[in-house]
Amino acid sequence: MAGLSIRDARKNFGETEVLKGVSIDVADGEFTVIVGPSGCGKSTLLRAVAGLEELTSGRISIGDRDVTDLPPSERGIAMVFQSYALYPHLTVRENMAFGLKIAKASKTEIDDAVRRAAAILHIEPLLDRKPAALSGGQRQRVAIGRAIVRQPQIFLFDEPLSNLDADLRVRMRYEFASLHRQLGTTTLYVTHDQVEAMTLADRIIVLRDGIIEQVGSPRALYESPANIFVAQFLGTPRMNILAAVVADDGSAQLIDGGCVALPPLAAPLAPGTPVSVGIRPEDIEIGAAAGALPFTITFVERLGGLATVHLQAADGGDPIACQRRDDGSLREGEKVVALLPPDQLHLFDAIGRAIPREARK
């Protein structure tokens, strides 16, 4: 097994630059998830690691080997595609054995490898079927099986769950996690689904427009997003962002009315500085408290256990979302007060970068 290192990867398709200098280090055995909106270059990056796409510039190494100029089969990777890409005319067994057969492995060696992979994925009964006779989830397993048989140093997954229905996706997500625990293989996993990223990753890389926005553990990214993009990308419903100006007393005057106290900052902000105040929906507390602001409830989405309450500030502006346990008490049109606790506020400057807080003791 081995780690992966990408140095300043750039990729142009004609005039358009899709990767604009991406550097990534994945430690041996780590499960790293690349997440980002559609078209940000995730697949391109993964395909470059696989050797299916040539970089315009930059280096890629796996373990201590520079693989930039090696063909896909010599890089020690295995890839699972979104469409599974099984060979339709071969049985499940032959699909999984294809690579070893090409490599002229002995029959017993192939049988062993296929049997082991099939056992891990519980697909032994399917070995003699053709892909056409499998369900979506089973095809997915076979595709993973084909990757396992290769015994790669690195697994590459490109949105492997996005063709499955919601139920199966949750189950397969769990299986990915346990598979990684069992095999311990270094994994690079691409998705645009932030829930997959949060639940699976040791480390998340947020990519936007070919640039890395932030790298860190799911917890770190959730708690201290480096900018508004990351802050809003992770978490549902997404973080509320309120435009504000720093007031003379060091609190923030919201553009839509009201004033919120700010957490202690690393460096004080000059009065009049425009800022964005971010707060996660689950951090808003509805109910009387010192410093609470008046709101009108415009809409309540009841999700069963939880409810998302949309609150409109007295002076208008976009409603903000608040998530809480649903006790059935709140009604649309009702007037309430809600507190934005200073401790839970995220502060961003005019171009969306996080303003650092005072270091915690």
Partner 1 sequence: MSLRRWSVTLLAAFVALLTTAPLLWMVSVSFMAPGEAAQFPPPLLPADPTMANYHTLFGSFGIGRFLANSLLVSTLATILALIFTIPAGYAFAKLRFRGRDATFRLLVAALVVPGQIGMLPLFLELKAMGLVNSYAGALVPWLAGIFGIFLVRQYCLSIPDEMLEAARIDGASEGQILRRIVLPILTPIIVTLALFVFLGSWNDFMWPLIVLADQNLYTLPVALAAMSREHVQDNELMMAGAVVTTLPVLILFLALQRFYLSGLLTGSVKG
Ligand X SMILES: Nc1ncnc2c1ncn2[C@@H]1O[C@H](COP(=O)(O)OP(=O)(O)OP(=O)(O)O)[C@@H](O)[C@H]1O
Chain positions 182 to 241 lying near ligand X, rule: CB under 6 A, are: 192
Using CB under 8 A, pick the residue from 25, 39, 69, 73 that binds partner 1: 73
**Omega within 30 of 0 (cis) for the link into 237:** yes
* 95 counts as binding Mg ion under rule CB under 5 A: no
Helix (H, G, I), strand (E, B) or coil at 354: strand
* Residue whose CB is less far from Mg ion, 39 or 268: 39
The two three-digit tokens of residue 221, written as one number: 């990214």
Stretch that binds ligand X, among 38-46, 121-129, 259-267, 331-339 (CB under 6 A): 38-46
* 102 counts as binding partner 1 under rule CB under 8 A: yes
* 44 counts as binding ligand X under rule CB under 6 A: yes
User: Using CB distances below 5 to 8 A depending on partner kind, what does residue 52 bind out of partner 1, Mg ion, ligand X, none?
Assistant: partner 1
10's CB contacts (< 8 A; 6+ apart) are 17, 19, 20, 21, 22, 55, 56, 57, 58
Alpha-carbon distance 108 to 117, whole Å? 14
- Cβ count within 10 A of residue 303: 9
Beta strands 203-208 and 211-216: pairing type?
Answer: antiparallel
Considering the complex, what minimum distance in angstroms separates the CB of residue 180 from partner 1? Answer: 20
- The answer to whether 33 and 40 have CB atoms below 8 angstroms apart is no
Alpha-carbon distance 100 to 128, whole Å? 17
Contacts with ligand X by CB under 6 A: the residue count is 11
* 130 counts as binding partner 1 under rule CB under 8 A: yes
Cα dist from 61 to 45, 152, 249, whole Å: 13, 14, 53
Helix (H) or strand (E) holding 92: helix 92-102
Site string for ligand X, 249-278 (x = CB under 6 A): ------------------------------
3-state secondary structure 15-50: CEEEEEEEEEEECCCCEEEEECCCCCCHHHHHHHHH
Using CB under 8 A, pick the residue from 6, 18, 45, 77 that binds partner 1: 77
Stretch that binds Mg ion, among 24-32, 37-45, 164-172, 281-289 (CB under 5 A): 37-45
User: Using CB distances below 5 to 8 A depending on partner kind, what does residue 81 bind out of Mg ion, ligand X, partner 1, none?
Assistant: partner 1
Stretch that binds partner 1, among 5-13, 71-79, 284-292, 341-349 (CB under 8 A): 71-79
Considering the complex, what minimum distance in angstroms separates the CB of residue 35 from partner 1? Answer: 21
Using CB under 5 A, pick the residue from 6, 19, 33, 43 that binds Mg ion: 43
Using CB under 8 A, pick the residue from 29, 72, 263, 342 that binds partner 1: 72
Contacts with partner 1 by CB under 8 A: the residue count is 32
* 235 counts as binding partner 1 under rule CB under 8 A: no
User: Using CB distances below 5 to 8 A depending on partner kind, what does residue 13 bind out of partner 1, Mg ion, ligand X, none?
Assistant: ligand X
User: Using CB distances below 5 to 8 A depending on partner kind, what does residue 73 bind out of ligand X, partner 1, Mg ion, none?
Assistant: partner 1
* 76 counts as binding partner 1 under rule CB under 8 A: no
Residue 269's identity, in one-letter code, is L
Edge-to-edge order in the sheet of strand 4-13: 16-26, 4-13, 57-62, 65-66
Alpha-carbon distance 109 to 99, whole Å? 12
Summarize as ranges the residues that interact with Mg ion (CB under 5 A).
Answer: 43
